[in-house]
């Protein structure tokens, strides 16, 4: 350095500085480029999430209305089918419902046979009850109308009608022997639903007992 002129020293310093800057730039530029690309990708992701959130907010009222209508339809269907913890219990509920309908139609039931698929593991199963009863024509028609035209989703699958006394006098009321198979759709409750239903029924029964005690 002592043997160099001032101009050469300036040239050497400028050259060394330029080389050092180039080396630094060569090493730092790729990292800077990657950082910029990452930030751009992150910004695009945030913009897409923001657009999806705004779109969801605009659709929220319509989705709520759709959910309410679906819940109303499900509640209507749920009230029209049989509910029980097991298929056998659902078949027993169907038998009880048919007994009430037969009493209203003045039909005398002599035998009942329950049909339930206990091996089914689905939430919806088909259950059935075979009835053997005695009725007149009007009672039979009333029972069939109540079964297939009532609020419950029931159907008559088999129907056989015989007259035990075909030679009976006309003055005697006509009596028919009826053998029919009634099927219905049943929803099997989960254990959690059964516990919830029992918990809701328990406070109601306690309130009833409290009211009776006050009386």
One domain for residues 66 and 92: no
Q: Is residue 200 part of a domain?
A: no
Of all helices (H) and strands (E), which one includes residue 205? helix 191-214
- Among the candidates 61, 80, 99, a domain finishes at 80
One domain for residues 72 and 87: no
The residues that bridge with 130 in the sheet, in sequence order, are 113, 181
One domain for residues 46 and 139: no
One domain for residues 41 and 56: yes
One domain for residues 107 and 59: no
One domain for residues 51 and 93: no
Q: Which of 120, 118, 135, 114 is nearest to 184 (CA)?
A: 114
One domain for residues 98 and 183: yes
| φ, ψ at 191 (rounded to 5°) | -55, -35
Distance of alpha carbon 174 from its chain centroid, rounded?
A: 48
- Among the candidates 64, 80, 96, a domain finishes at 80
| φ, ψ at 164 (rounded to 5°) | -65, -35
- Structural domain tally of the chain? 2
- pLDDT score, position 54: 82
- pTM for the predicted model, two decimal places: 0.55
One domain for residues 86 and 40: no
Q: Is residue 86 part of a domain?
A: yes
- Show the CA angle centred on residue 4, arms to residues 2 and 6, nearest 5°: 105
One domain for residues 22 and 76: yes
One domain for residues 65 and 86: no
Domain CATH number, residue 130: 3.30.70.60
Q: Is residue 28 part of a domain?
A: yes
One domain for residues 72 and 151: no
Q: List the domain range (segments joined by +) for residue 155.
A: 82-195
List the pLDDT tens digit at each of the 215 positions of the chain. Answer: 555 666 666 676 767 777 666 667 666 667 667 777 888 888 888 888 888 888 877 877 777 777 777 766 766 666 778 888 888 899 999 999 999 999 999 999 999 999 987 766 668 888 999 999 999 889 999 999 999 888 888 999 999 999 877 656 666 667 889 999 999 988 887 766 555 555 555 554 444 444 544 44
One domain for residues 74 and 88: no
């Amino acid at each position: 350095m002592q043997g160099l002129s001032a101009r050469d020293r300036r040239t050497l310093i400028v050259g060394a500085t330029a080389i050092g800057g180039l080396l630094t730039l060569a090493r730092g530029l790729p990292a800077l480029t990657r950082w910029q690309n990452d930030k751009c990708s992150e910004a695009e992701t945030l913009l897409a999430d923001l657009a999806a959130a705004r779109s969801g907010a605009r659709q929220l009222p319509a989705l709520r209305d759709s959910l309410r209508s679906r819940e109303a339809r499900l509640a209507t269907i749920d009230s029209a089918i049989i509910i029980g913890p097991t298929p056998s219990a659902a078949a027993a509920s169907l038998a009880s419902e048919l007994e009430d309908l037969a009493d209203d139609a003045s039909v005398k039931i002599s035998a009942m046979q329950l049909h339930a698929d206990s091996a089914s593991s689905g939430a919806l199963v088909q259950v059935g009850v075979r009835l053997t009863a005695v009725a007149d024509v009007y009672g039979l028609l009333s029972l069939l109308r109540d079964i297939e035209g009532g609020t419950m989703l029931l159907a008559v699958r088999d129907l056989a009608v015989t007259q035990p006394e075909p030679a009976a006098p006309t003055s005697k009321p006509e009596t028919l022997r009826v053998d029919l198979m009634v099927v219905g759709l049943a929803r099997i409750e989960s254990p959690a639903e059964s516990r919830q239903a029992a918990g809701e029924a328990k406070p109601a029964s306690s309130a009833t007992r409290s009211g009776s005690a006050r009386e």
